[in-house]
Structure 1
Amino acid sequence: MVFKDNKYGYLDYSGKVVIPFKFQNAQPFENGLALVSEDLENFYYINAKGKFIKSMKSNPQTFYLSTLHRGKYMFILLTSILLIGIGMSKVPIQEIYKIIIALLMVPLALYLAIKCSTLDSTWRLDADTLTVSNSKKQLNSH
């Protein structure tokens, strides 16, 4: 993929033009296809010979993501560490054992904070719309 005269085109390894410089936006080839656009509005896939394969409008993409709710994560993590510290101060054993037990409990606190604050979401990308939805709300963007 090469940018020349404000347009993208594709060259082979010898430098010969394989696909003319006519795209305003172009992506590298992946799995034999490249995503391109001549007008920055209509995107479509081409093969290595420049032949039109399919439009983005006919091929919406869906992604499933898990994200953390940062505020909830930090609250759970800090509360867990505070409770571990308070709990260890009440146990009648030597200080070194308290420290070791507390340090061994920190990964458990991290695990619980992540598990309790994970939010699964679905991202759907159509030609001109991105829709993000989860169990709590849905957001559309044009």
Structure 2
Amino acid sequence: YQIDGNFGCCAGIAEMLVQSHAGFIHILPALPLEWKKNGEVKGLCTRGGFEITDLNWTDGKVTLLKIKSKVGGNLRLRTATPLKMADGTSLRLADGDNTNPLMQPYRMPAPIVKDKSKIPATFLPETVLYDIPTEAGQEIVLVCRN
């Protein structure tokens, strides 16, 4: 029994559902095929002072997303599911650098690769990047745009 393994497993599962290290919150970045049909998670905290209070998905697409802003500021959100506000209001596409000082990306140096031919091709789904202004204590409710 190793406690670090237990915590590591939980952190790995959380990272499959929500990531926030690249200057934005990425919803469902690495959802396993076995979990795509239906799912729900609550209470995941992210960089920038945000909390995912409710995230539901069906067939790998976000159906409901509630995010609480604990300190306010710009919420930059990335998802493969086009979203809108629950009241039907459209979201503004992100442009330029994120204005939230708590959501600045880590600038990683370029990797050193000896033989690029051994790197397998990577195919990533298309995503949408939104900017949503928030105030401290505000909860944003988003739904699938379709």
Could you tell me the TM-score, scaled by structure 1's length? 0.23
Q: Between Structure 1 and Structure 2, whose CA radius of gyration is higher?
A: 1
Q: Compare the two structures and name the one with the higher helix fraction.
A: 1
Q: Quick one: higher RCO (CA 8 Å, sep 6+), 1 or 2?
A: 2
